[in-house]
Each structure stands twice: as structure tokens, then as C-alpha cells.
Amino acid sequence: MGYSFYEIYITALRAFSGMGFPHGSDEDAAYIISWLELNNLQGIKKLTNSIALLDNQYNGITNIKEADEKIDLNHKSVLMKGPGIIDYFESLLLNQDKVIITLNNCPDPFLLLPLLYKVSSRILFSQLIFYYSENKINIHQVTKNKTLIGKKNKKKYLKKNQAEIILSNQKNISPIKNIERQITDQSIQENLALALKPNIKDWNKVSEIANRTFVPESEESRNRGAGGGDDND
């Protein structure tokens, strides 16, 4: 069975609300998951794999002192911390050309990619790199009309659960050579017209959590029935 992008987004939104995310933060997190699902990057599966880190554990506060400081996420998910971090460092580009951020103890750095796409209409270039193996790193580059995903030989030391983000008002001078995936405005529009098909077990789990947001039916409401009761009640 397939679902529209809107159905994916709304179900994810309700799931985050059901797990205790406050209003606004639930919208940011739902955007991350639905963008990944839209682009065939297993957003719903990534959500189900993160439930243990998220359920009734929301903490979106991040202590940031300096633009070049390494930020310790303390193993908290990007779904909670990422939007605020990207918003803050994007604001610094009003007074400088480039910002480099290192995240430590980041359990899910790949989830930063939708956030970089989201700000790509306002900045020229962004890059996300994080650990893949002892001699390779994952690399993602985002411009206004294109997102590139690939790997390259590791030139700098990055540990597991560590990521580096670059936000820049300068053009990219070192594009990825070995591209594994490419996401464009055209491919996104094409996918919006298709039915999205997340893994059914993962979808059912997310839907189950989303159902927490429904108000339980009371005995009084059952006795009245839909639309019942006195208008003066």
C-alpha cells in the first residue's frame, strides 16, 4: 500500500507529538523524516530505529558558546537538537562567509541532510561529512538545486558519532567525485506525484505511536453518539 507525502508527514508529526515533542519541534522532526522518505532514504525506518532515543525524552536545548566550538550532543538525536543548531549557525552567515561546526556524540548525523536542504534556498553551499569506515567518510553536499551523496577517502580524522558541517556563502570548490545519489528539484517533484511505500512493519509502529494523540472515547461520548448532546452543554 502506498501513501502520499502529506500522509507520511502528518503521521510522523502525530508520532512526534505522541512521544512528547513540543509544538514546532514536532513539525521540524516530521519534516526531516518525511523528506528522507520522499527521497527514498528510508525516513520511516530511521524513525522506528530511533524510538528508544526519542520516546518521552525530548531535550532540544544545546549550549553553544562560540561558532567554532565543538558541540557535544550527549548522544541525543538530531531530531531534537538539529533544527536549533542549524538555525543558529545559519544566522551567523549574516556577518561572515563560512561557518564550520563539529558535532560530537551525534548518534544519527545523516538526519542533518534534510535540514541542510531546507536552508539551501538561503545560502550558497553546505556540506555534511561523518564516519563511514576506518578509511572512508560519508560526504553530502547541498546547493540550491542539487543534493549530492557520496563517499571519499578520509583526509581528516573523524570518529564514529562525530560529524562536521560547513555552511557557506561561497561556491563549492571541491565537488564530490564519486557520486552515489543525486537529488534535484525535478526528482523531488516527480516523487511527490508517486505513492510512497515505507516498510509496513515500520509504518505500523509509527502509526501506533501516532494514535496516542487521539482522545480516548469516554462513556459519555459513546452514549451521546457523534454529534449528540445539547447545544447548550
What does pTM read for this prediction?
A: 0.90
On whether the CB atoms of residues 33 and 44 are closer than 8 A, the answer is: yes
pLDDT of 167 higher than 50: yes
Q: Which domains does the chain have, with CATH numbers?
A: 5-210 (3.30.1370)
Higher pLDDT, 87 or 157: 87
Q: Residue 155 corresponds to which amino acid?
A: K
pLDDT of 214 higher than 90: no
- Per-residue confidence (pLDDT) for residue 225, from 0 to 100: 54
DSSP 44-78: HHHHHHHHHHHTT----------TT-EEE-TT--H
List own/partner pairs for 131-140 with CB under 8 A and 24 or more apart. Answer: 131/158, 131/159, 131/160, 131/161, 131/162, 138/110, 139/176, 140/113, 140/116
Q: What is the mean pLDDT of residues 57-79?
A: 86
